[in-house]
Amino acid sequence: MQFFGYTLGDPSVPTAPPTPELFEEMGKFIEEATKAGVLLAAGGLAPVEEATKVIRSEGKFTVVDGPFAEAKELIGGWALMEVRDKDEAIEWTKRFLAIAGDGESTIRQVFS
């Protein structure tokens, strides 16, 4: 089964830029998860200031550029995993956070 995992963060709270060590560790982790056949796809998202909302209301479209004042919890990075059960998805997420540091990841099963 597939799980979609994403990290949530508050963009108004400043975070230190990742160190080269973190980059290297994360690279190794991604390689390991890919080679284990678990990581199908992953990516990061550009800052929310660059985001755009497309809204349809009563048949009319509105396009709004960011930043958005109300946004507190925003998706930072995401990953699509193929695992045998939810517990495996949790374990891989723990391994990710062990490298990424304190924070929060949400995992949701992908309907097939």
Partner 1 sequence: MTSETHAAVEAVVRIEWARLIAGLARYTGDLGLAEELAQDAVVAALEQWPGSGVPRNSGAWLMTVAKRRAVDQFRRHRELRLKYAQIGRALEVEGDAVTPDFDRAFCDEIDDDLLRLMFTACHPVLAVQARVALTLRMLGGLTTAEIGRAYLVSEATIAQRIVRAKKTLAQAQVPFEVPGPQERGARLSSVLEVIYLIFNEGYSATAGDDWMRPELCQDALRLGRILAGLMPAEAEVHGLVALMEIQASRISARAGPSGRPVLLLDQDRARWDRLLINRGLAALDRAEQLGGAEGPYALQAAIAACHARAFRPEDTDWPRIAGLYAVLTAQVPSPVIELNRAVAVAMACGPQAGLDLVDQLTAVPALRDYHLLPSVRGDLLMKLGRPDEARAEFERAATMTRNAPERELSAERAAAAAAAAGQAERAGESG
Q: Enumerate binding residues for partner 1 (CB under 8 A).
A: 1, 28, 34-38, 40-41, 80, 82, 84-85, 87-88, 90-92, 94, 98, 112
Q: Which is nearer to partner 1, 26 or 80 (CB)?
A: 80
Q: Which is nearer to partner 1, 20 or 59 (CB)?
A: 20
Strands 39-44 and 60-65, how do they pair?
Answer: unpaired
Q: Which is nearer to partner 1, 21 or 58 (CB)?
A: 21
In angstroms, the CA 91 to CA 101 distance is: 15
| CB of 73 vs partner 1, minimal distance in Å | 24
| CB of 16 vs partner 1, minimal distance in Å | 22
**Integer angstrom CA distances of residue 107 from 31, 39, 48, 58, 86:** 20, 13, 21, 33, 9
Q: Which is nearer to partner 1, 9 or 82 (CB)?
A: 82
In angstroms, the CA 93 to CA 8 distance is: 13
Length of the chain: 112
